[in-house]
Amino acid sequence: MTTSWGFYGRALELEQLRGILSRGRWFFVKLSGRRRIGKTTLIKHALEGSHRPILYVQIPDSGPAGVLSAVRDAFDTFGVDHAKFPLPTNLSEFAKTVAVLAKAGFVVVLDEFQYFHRKVLSEFPSHLQREIDRLTGDASQVSGGLFVLGSIDTELTDLLENRTAPLYNRATDIIHVGHLDIGSILQVLRTHADEDPERLLLLWNLFEGVPKFYRDCYEQGALQSATPELLQRMFFQSSAPLRNEADNWFLHELRGRYDVVLKFIARNPGCANGDLDAHVRRVSPETAEQTAGYVKILTEKYELIERRLPIFAKKKERKGRYYVRDNFLRSWLAAVAQAVAATSFRPPEQLVAQAQARLCEAEGHGFERLVSTLYEERSRKGLPGFALTHQVDGYWDTQGTEIDLVAVNDTAKRIRFGTCKRSAEKLEASLVETDGHIERFLSQLPAYRAFQIERVALAPVIPESIAKQIRVRGWLVEDLPTLTRGLG
C-alpha cells in the first residue's frame, strides 16, 4: 500500500476550474459546498504548475476590524509586497485591493464569503460590485480573478443570485462541490485499507463523501482499524481530530436554538410532523409553538434537514418525513455526541462501546441511503444494473405501506422494489410482508402493473446460503460487493 495521501475524484470540477483559469481574462467564481468538502484543495490542485500569485483570505465571523486583520495576516503569509500593494484600512479599500491584485494577475480567494451577509459587513458587497463592474468592462486586459467560497449555500446564494443583491449576475461561473462519489471512496479504500463492505458502510455512514475526514482517519492510522479503535482515535482521544468537529463546523452557529428538533430528527430518521410536534411538546413545551419555524429555518436556510416525500408524491402532499441531510452530523447527533460528552466521567471503553452500538442502529438508515446512492451512481456512469429515469426513493402511505426502495425506468417499462436490512439474516422473513406492501402500491398506482416488476433483497453482505433461499422465492439478491462492482 502507498504511504502518502493522494487527490481523489473531482475530475469534472478540476476540468472546469482549469478551463476558467486558462481563459486568460477576468473571472469571478462562486464555489460552494459544506465545510471540509475540499473547496480550497480543489483550487490548489487546479493552480498547480501555473506559478500564478495567490492571496487566500479566510473571512472571520466578526466586524470590519477582524476582516482587515485577516487580510493583513494573509498578505504576510502569501508574501504580498506591501509597497506595491498597500494594505487596506477599511472595507472600501479592501474591495479596491481585490481589483488591483486581479489586474496584476493574482488569483484572490475569499473563503467563508457568506459572512458578508452579516449586517456589520454588508457594505462590502456594494464596494466589490463597483470594482467588479470596472474589471468586467476591461475583462480581456485582466489576467487574474476572484474565487468566493462559502459553506452556507443559502447565504452565499443570497449575496450573488438574489435580484436585489449588489453582486447579482456578476459571477462568471458557479460551481457546487458535493460529496465524493462512491467510486472515489473505493479508490481511497483500495489504496489505504481494503474493500470490505462493512468498512465501506461504516466509513460512508460516518463520513459520507467528505475527503478531509477520510484523510484525518488515514493520518490517525484508523482507516484499517476495527470500529472501536476507529471511534477511539477519531472522536474520544483528547487530540482526536473530529472530537469538536460538529461544533466547529456548524452547531456553534445555531447557538443551541434548534437542538431539540435537530437531535430528534437525527435519532429518528423518517419522523413525521406529528412525531416532531409531540416530542417538542413533551421535552420543551415553552418552544413548542416555534417548531414549524425551526424546521423551516433548518430546511431552507441552513439545509441541515430535508423533507422527503414518497416516490411519485406531489410536493403539496402531507406525507413528508424528515431526515438530517449530512451523514456526519446525523451519526454525530444520533450515536457519538452523548458518549464523547461523558469522557470526563466514565471509562472510555464503555463509552466507545455505547457509541458503537448506537452507530450500528444508525447504519440501518445509512445503508438505505448508500444503496440509493449506488443505484444512482451506477446508472449515471452507465454501469450494469438498473438504468434509472427517476430518483430512487421509498414509498409509504397512511395504510401502513412501507417499501424501502423503488427504482423506475419508464423507457424500458421496468420497476424494481427493494427491501433493505442491516443484517442479511433478517431478509428472508421480510419478503412475504414486503410482497403485501408491493401489492398495495400496485393497487394505488395500477399503471405500473403493466411494467416488468422486479423485487430485490439488499444487505451489506449476503451469504450464498441465504441468497439461494431468497432466489427460490423469485427475488433478486444484491449486496455491497455486487453494487460496487466496476466502480472506481
* pLDDT of 252: 66
b/e map 421-434, b = 16+ CB within 10 Å:
bbebeebbeebeeb
Domain hosting residue 77, numbered range:
11-176
Q: Which of 150, 176, 202 finishes a domain?
A: 176
Whether 254 shows a pLDDT value over 80: the answer reads no
Instruction: Note whether residue 196 is domain-resident.
Output: no
- CATH no. for residue 75? 3.40.50.300
Instruction: Note whether residue 225 is domain-resident.
Output: no
Average pLDDT over residues 164-169: 96
Average pLDDT over residues 418-424: 97
* pLDDT of 49: 86
Instruction: Note whether residue 6 is domain-resident.
Output: no
Average pLDDT over residues 359-387: 96
Please count the structural domains in the chain.
Answer: 2
- Report pLDDT digits (tens) over 144-157: 999 999 988 889 99
Instruction: Note whether residue 458 is domain-resident.
Output: yes
Instruction: Note whether residue 331 is domain-resident.
Output: no
Specify the range with the lowest mean pLDDT, choosing from 243-257, 303-317, 454-468: 243-257
- Grade residue 251 by pLDDT with cuts at 50, 70 and 90: low
Higher-pLDDT residue of 92, 302: 92
Whether 178 shows a pLDDT value over 60: the answer reads yes
Average pLDDT over residues 367-384: 97
Whether 421 shows a pLDDT value over 90: the answer reads yes
Instruction: Note whether residue 183 is domain-resident.
Output: no
* pLDDT of 152: 85
- CATH no. for residue 411? 3.40.1350.10
